[in-house]
A and B are shown apart, each in its own frame.
Chain A
Amino acid sequence: MTHSTGIDPNLPQVQASAKPRPKTLQERIDEFPWWVGGIFVIAIGAFYLVTTQTSFGEALNFIRIGIGITITTTLYAYSIALVIGLVAGLGRISRNVVVRNLSTLYVELVRGIPILVLIFYIALVAVPDSLGVFKTLGAWLTSNGLGFIGQPLAAINNDSISLNVRAIIALSVTYGAFLAEIFRAGIQSIGKGQMEAARSLGMSYGQAMRYVILPQAIRNVLPALGNDFVAMVKDSSLVSVLAVRDITQVARLYAGRTFRFREAYTILAILYLGMTLILSLVVRVLERRLHGNSRK
């Protein structure tokens, strides 16, 4: 916590009132965000391509179909990852040895394996294997006279969990570990005095977390959470390896069928760029609004 030193509001504020010296031309040239201009040029170029070149227009029309899957996959996976991340992040700082070590193990495992490999592994090995466990459990329950739970459990088979769902599970589990580290860092960034003050008032650990620590921690990590959301939009392209029809998969299909690689992948790249730029902008606006509201 930053405690106020009681600055007299009537005192002249030196930094605020000092007039900035006018910038030189060289400084203006150095500081101008030229890259935004570059993005602008790309946008205009893309617009020109799809409106004047029919092959690009066709590619866009086809690949567009995947946008829905890309967005829903990301939204579902990110929401689940938020829950996993919060739980695992709290687990990482738990005083319970078992919980703490299990959470750390999860985070370290995920961080040590490439996302692509994790997606294959979770979707094609971990999910089918856990289905086997359900099946056995279901059969056991049924044979013990609990058929009303056992039968539906045993009925779940490989086909009843689509690759789309598995892709979401895989992304959630992967990003859950990333978000866990963000939450952990956020919680640890809150001064120890906050927990002590809450506990000294008689709050339990859980109450102190919920009402005092987490609201501050989450506010601190919102930018990082936003960044990871944008990152997940991009990483969602990896689920195309599971034949999930996101824009990457649809673009691959299109390119394979028409041999118009230039068109397919140009459109694909521009679609991702568009989504991530818009999202980054949204994140930035939210962040600014948050800072404007925060009364320090």
Chain B
Amino acid sequence: MAIAASKNIIEIRNLHKYFGDVQALRGVNLTVERGKVVVIVGPSGSGKSTLLRCINHLEVETEGEVWVDGKRLSEKNKDINSIRAEIGMVFQLFNLFPHLSVLDNIVLAQRVVRGRKKDEAVQIAHEQLKRVGISEKADNFPGQLSGGQQQRVAIARALAMNPKIMLFDEPTSALDPEMIKEVLDVMLALAKDGMTMVCVTHEMGFARAAADEVIFMDHGLIVEKGSPDAVFNHPQEERTKLFLSQILSH
């Protein structure tokens, strides 16, 4: 356990992941320091989601090690639920619980996982709703909200658990263009507050404004990484250049 637990909150070593014959990850190494924002970009199928999902063990690695906050994730790890409680995740399709009101969406896990009292959980839920700017929707159901509002509720739901890390998997790619900004603004504010974030997103503006490090993935490997300026403006690898020219030409 010679991990510098104080500095690196995520350590991934030689991570391989197979889905049957498909090799989604082919030896990924990655460290994320506390309070840093990492943005992952790369073509479809390059393994971005798989990498993200290995960090909270929604996918179990085939080979290699994932360490979060000084703890090794493994299939036998009985603590996986308590580790996950420290890692918020925001999905492309929001995945709010449609049978629960916005407030109850945010209260549920606080109560059953964190064991908070009802009053406390409700109060925290209201605080987080305020933080993402939709206090007035507390009593609505997810289906009554716009996509952008739903995604902000999903972020509030994750934040209410007081996570140490937030993972975002293409949080704006299912949104209509006019709603993307409201979600990115919340994410930017979060980054400014010092949250450790790993975001899969192709929003270059967000990456430039918030990212400490940009990672370019292709075919299950990290091909290039560096500051947003280095990766976006002075890419070294041909594959990075090709990819950037494709997404910029859109």
A202 touches B58 (CB 8 A): no
Bound CA span A219–B174, Å: 27
Bound CA span A193–B150, Å: 14
Q: Distance in Å from the Cβ of A166 to the closest Cβ of chain B?
A: 39
The contact sample of 5 A-B pairs, CB cut-off 8 A, is: A4-B145, A200-B87, A200-B89, A202-B84, A207-B113
By CB atoms of chain B within 10 A, which of A207, A215, A295 has the most?
Answer: A295
A199 touches B147 (CB 8 A): no
**5 interchain residue pairs of minimum CB distance:** A202-B85, A6-B146, A197-B95, A201-B109, A200-B89
B99 touches A5 (CB 8 A): no
A196 touches B150 (CB 8 A): no
Given A1-B96, A196-B91, check contact A204 B143 (CB 8 Å).
Answer: no
Bound CA span A247–B145, Å: 53
Given A4-B147, A215-B99, check contact A203 B112 (CB 8 Å).
Answer: yes
Residues of B near A1 (CB, < 8 A) are: 93-96, 98
Q: Write the A60-93 contact mask toward B (1 if CB under 8 angstroms, else 0).
A: 0000000000000000000000000000000000
- The answer to whether the Cβ of B179 comes within 8 Å of any Cβ in the partner chain is yes
B93 touches A211 (CB 8 A): no
Bound CA span A196–B140, Å: 23
Residues of A near B145 (CB, < 8 A) are: 4
Given A197-B97, A201-B113, check contact A3 B150 (CB 8 Å).
Answer: yes
Given A1-B98, A3-B93, A3-B94, check contact A202 B143 (CB 8 Å).
Answer: no
Residues of A near B23 (CB, < 8 A) are: none
Binding site for B on A (CB under 8 A): 1-6, 191, 193-194, 196-204, 207, 211-212, 215-216, 219, 295-296
Among candidates B89, B94, B141, residue contacting A295 with C-beta atoms closer than 8 Å:
B141
Bound CA span A199–B84, Å: 8
Q: Distance in Å from the Cβ of A7 to the closest Cβ of chain B?
A: 9
Instruction: For chain B, give the interface size range.
Output: 35 or more
Given A196-B91, A197-B95, A197-B97, check contact A202 B161 (CB 8 Å).
Answer: yes
Given A1-B96, A219-B99, check contact A211 B143 (CB 8 Å).
Answer: no
Q: Distance in Å from the Cβ of A174 to the closest Cβ of chain B?
A: 31
Bound CA span A294–B139, Å: 14
Residues of A near B140 (CB, < 8 A) are: 295
Residues of B near A207 (CB, < 8 A) are: 112-113
B157 touches A201 (CB 8 A): yes
B95 touches A194 (CB 8 A): yes
Q: Write the B65-108 contact mask toward A (1 if CB under 8 angstroms, else 0).
A: 00000000000000001101111110101111111000000001
Given A6-B176, A295-B143, check contact A202 B95 (CB 8 Å).
Answer: no
Among candidates B86, B95, B113, residue contacting A196 with C-beta atoms closer than 8 Å:
B95
B95 touches A216 (CB 8 A): no
B148 touches A6 (CB 8 A): yes
By CB atoms of chain B within 10 A, which of A202, A203, A204, A296 has the most?
Answer: A202
Bound CA span A219–B140, Å: 19
Bound CA span A20–B95, Å: 37
Residues of A near B99 (CB, < 8 A) are: 215-216, 219
A203 touches B113 (CB 8 A): yes
A203 touches B81 (CB 8 A): yes
- The answer to whether the Cβ of B158 comes within 8 Å of any Cβ in the partner chain is yes
Residues of B near A196 (CB, < 8 A) are: 58, 91, 95
Q: Distance in Å from the Cβ of B152 to the closest Cβ of chain A?
A: 13
Bound CA span A198–B114, Å: 13
Bound CA span A2–B157, Å: 19
Residues of A near B98 (CB, < 8 A) are: 1-2, 216, 296
